[in-house]
Structure 1
C-alpha cells in the first residue's frame, strides 16, 4: 500500500523554485570545486563578484531551508493521509527515510554536498515529534531555532574572551577536496566524496548550526501542514501577510548585525558562536520573506501560470536533485569536462539557468506520460515493499 497525500500546487511550485535556486548556487560554486579563473578581464571579475554575492544573499542558506520546511510539511500530509485510513505511518516512514539515506549516499558519490543523507537521519526526529500537540511542537522548534549549543559555546567564550580558537574542523577536510575533484580519476573522486567530502559536510553542518535549524524547520513545516497554511484560504493568506511583515522587520537588523559583527566584536572566541547564531536567524528570516512572497503571489492570474512552470520540477525534486549532481560533476570536475578551469560565476550562472530550463522541460514531458518521476516511483515502491497491496 502507498501513501497518497493531497497535492498542493503551490507546494510543488515552491519546491521547484528551491531546486532551481540550489542548482544555480551549486553551479557558481563548481559543485564545491572552488577555483578562480586566472587572467579574467577586470569587468568580468567584477561581474563574477556581483553574481556570487547576489546569489548567496538571495539563496545561500535559504534554499535548503525551504526544502527542510517542505520536508516536514510532506511528512504531515503523508501521515495524515494514512491516519484517515486508520493506519500509523511512522514505522513505514522510518523505513522510507532509510531508503532516502541510500539515495543520498549514491548522490554523495557525485557531489559531497548532498543534503538527502542529512535529512534522512534528522528526519527520524519527526517520528516522536508527530505525537506532540501544536503548542509543545512550536515550543520545541523555537528552542532548537535559538541554537542552544552555540549559546553554551558563547557563554564559555564570554568567560574567556581572549582564548585562542583554532580553525573549524571542517576546513582540514575541505582543504583536501581539490586534490581529487580536479584529478582525472572518477573512482578517486567518488571515493573522496564518500569519505573526506562527507566528513567535511557533516562537520560544516554542525559548525554552522544547520543541525538544530533543520530539525526546527521540519517541525515548523509539520505545524504549517496541521494549520493548513499552504491552502488557498483567507486565514492562510492573512498568516503569510503577517509573516512577510514580521520576517522583513527581523531580517533587516539581523543582517546589519551579521555584516557589522567583525567590527563590533574583537574577540574571535565570542564572535564565532555569535556569528553562527545571527547568521542562522538572518537566513531563516529571509527564507520566510521568500516563502511568504511566493505564496502571496501564487494566487491566480498570469504570474501564477508563469510560476506553475516550476511545479513539475517540484514533483520530481528527488530525480532533479540527483540528476543535477551527476550532470554538474561531469561538467566541472577533472574527470569530466573540467570547466572549473575556465568558468567564473557569471558563466556558471548561465550554465545553471540552461540546465534548470532543461530540467523543467524534461520533468513536464515525463509527467505527461507518467504519474511520478523515475526516482520518485522507485522510492515509492521501495517504501511500500512487503506491504499487502501497492498504491
Structure 2
C-alpha cells in the first residue's frame, strides 16, 4: 500500500497577534486625538482648562510613551503578516507575489482616498513598503537585519544631510532667515469656506508634500517604518509566534533586555545638550550638525527598543491567566484592524474638521481628548466583538479580500444548525 507523505501543517490563526494589533491601534488613536488627526481648525473661544496639571501629564505620556512606539508595533505586524500570507501560499504550492502586488495597489488606493479626510493616514505608505518586501522575501536573515539597522541609524538621513550641507556651503548660507522675512501663508479655503471638498483639496495639495517630507526627508519616519516591516518578516521566518506559548521564560528575558536597552539609550540621549530636532523638518539654508544626526539616530533606536518592550510586555501579560482573558478581548478589534483604523480616521475628521465639529472639539484640552479617544476605542472594541459573531471579516477586510481575488468571498458566519442542514 502506497504511503501518503504528510503535508506540512499550516499554522492556525495566532490570536495574540490580533490582540497585539488591537493594542497597537489603541496607541494610534490616542496620539492622533492629541494631534487633532493632523487637521488644522480654528476653535471656538478657548474654555479655561479644567485639569491643567493633568493636561501636562497626558501630553508627556503622548510624547514619551505613545508617539512613534505603538505605530512601530503596527508596522512590525504588517511585515509579519506579509510573511504569513506568503508562507501560507507557498505551503499550498501557490505563487502569491502577483496577487500581493494587486493587494497592495488596492490598499494604496484606499489610503489615498482616506487622505482626503485626514492627512495622517499611513496605509498608502504601507502599501508602497509592502511592494518593497517582495524582492526581500528570499534574502537571508542576516542581510535583512543589517539593512534594517542601517535604516534605523539613519543612513538615508546622513546621505541627504551631506548633500544638503554641501549645497549650504556652496551658497555660504549658515544662518536661518529672520522670522519676519518669511512669507506667511494666508488662511486656507478649508478654514474660511469650510466644506469637505475644500478640506480634501487642501489635504492633497498642501499636506501630501508634507507627508512625503516627513516619511522620506531628513526626519525619515518612513525608513524607520520600513525597518519595522523587515523585522516583522525576519521574526515571521524564525516562527517566533508559532511556539510563543512554550517560551515564557525567554519572553521575559527578551522583555527585560528591551527595557534595559531602552533605559540605557534614554540616559545617553539625556547627556546631549538641548538640540532642536524639529530643524530636520525644514532646514532650508541651515547647516545640519553631526550632533543632530547622532541625536536623531539615538532617538529612533530608542523608539524601536521601546516598541519592543511594549510588545513583549503585552505578550507576557497575554500569556497569564489573570490578564490574558481580558487582553484577548482585543483580538476581534485586531482582526478588524483595517476597518477600525479607517474608522478612527473618519471619526477624527468629523471631530476636528471645520466642515463638521472642528470648532468645538479643537478647543478641547489634552485630558478631554485622551478620554474621548479611549471611549471611541472601547466602542470599537465592543462593535468588533459582536460584528465577528455574525461575520467572518470586518467590512473592509471582506472587501479587500474579495477584490484581491476578484471574487466575492464568504462573509456571514453559518450557524452549527445551518451547517448540519447543508450536510
Counterparts of 1:329 and 1:157 in 2: how far apart (Å)?
36
1:379 maps to 2:379: no
Corresponding residue for 2:5? Answer: none
Match of 1:20 among 8, 19, 26: 26
State whether structure 2 residue 316 is matched by structure 1 residue 296.
yes
Confirm or deny: 8 A CA contact 2:161 2:288 kept in the other structure: no
| Residue among 7, 11, 28 paired with 2:17 | 11
> Matches of residues 90-101 of structure 1 in structure 2 within 5 Å?
90-101=97-108
Once the two structures are TM-superposed, the CA of residue 182 in structure 1 deviates from its matched residue by 7.7
**Offset, 1:176:** 7.8
Deviation, structure 1 residue 216: 1.5
Q: Of residues 250, 266, 272 in structure 2, which corresponds to 1:255? A: 266
**Displacement of 1:346:** 0.6
Which has the higher mean CA deviation after the structures are superposed, 252-261 or 132-141?
252-261
Matches within 5 A, 1:1-391: 6-33=12-39, 40-41=47-48, 44-152=51-159, 164=174, 180=190, 184-206=194-216, 207-233=218-244, 236-263=247-274, 269-338=289-358, 339-385=360-406
Q: CA deviation at 1:183?
A: 5.2
Checking the alignment, whether the CA contact within 8 Å between 1:25 and 1:60 is kept in structure 2 is yes
Residues in 2 aligned to 1:43 and 1:297: alpha-carbon distance in whole angstroms: 35
Deviations 1:47-83 (A, max 9, x none): 2222111122111011111011000110111111100
Against the structure 1 CA distance between its residues 66 and 80, is the aligned structure 2 distance closer, same or farther, given a 3 Å change threshold? same
Question: RMSD in angstroms over aligned alpha carbons?
Answer: 3.1
Q: 1:225 and 1:252, CA in 2 relative to 1: closer, same or farther beyond 3 A?
A: same
Partner Cα separation in structure 2 for residue 238 and residue 344 of structure 1: 42
Q: Which has the higher mean CA deviation after the structures are superposed, 331-340 or 78-87?
A: 331-340
Does the 8 Å CA contact 1:177/1:192 hold for their aligned counterparts?
A: no
Q: d(CA) in 2 for partners of 1:177 and 1:75?
A: 43
Tell me if structure 2 keeps the 8 A contact 1:254–1:282. Answer: yes
Pick which of 198-207 and 352-361 moved more: 198-207
Provide structure 2 residue ranges, at least 5 long, that are not aligned to the other structure. Answer: 1-9, 278-286, 412-423
1:163-203 Cα distance to aligned partner (Å, 9 max, x none): 73769xxxx9x988976368521110111112211211111
Q: 2:150 and 2:32 mapped to 1: Cα distance? A: 31
What does the per-residue CA deviation read over 1:262-309, in whole Å, with 9 as the maximum and x for residues that have no partner? 438998533432232122111111001101111111114120011111
Check 1:37–1:44 CA distance in 2 against 1; reply closer, same or farther (3 A cut).
farther
Whole-angstrom CA distance in 2 between matches of 1:176 and 1:370: 49
CA–CA distance in structure 1, aligned partners of residues 240 and 27 of structure 2: 23
State the structure with more CA Rg. 2
Structure 1 distance, partners of 2:33, 2:49, is 22
Given the two structures, how large is their TM-score scaled by the length of structure 2? 0.81
Report the CA distance between 1:125 and its aligned residue: 1.3
Structure 1 unmatched ranges of 5 or more: none
How far off is 1:381 after superposition? 0.7
In the TM superposition, residue 261 of structure 1 has moved relative to its aligned partner by: 2.9
Give the TM-score, by structure 1 length.
0.87
Counterpart contact for 2:47–2:363, Cα < 8 Å: no
CA contact (8 A) 1:145 1:213 kept: yes
Q: How far off is 1:245 after superposition? A: 2.5
In the comparison of the two structures, how many residue pairs are matched?
A: 382
Of residues 325-334 and 8-17 in structure 1, the stretch that sits farther from structure 2 once superposed is: 325-334
Answer with 237-246 or 89-98: which moved more: 237-246
Distance 1:43 1:15, change over 3 A: same
Corresponding residue SS for 1:231? helix
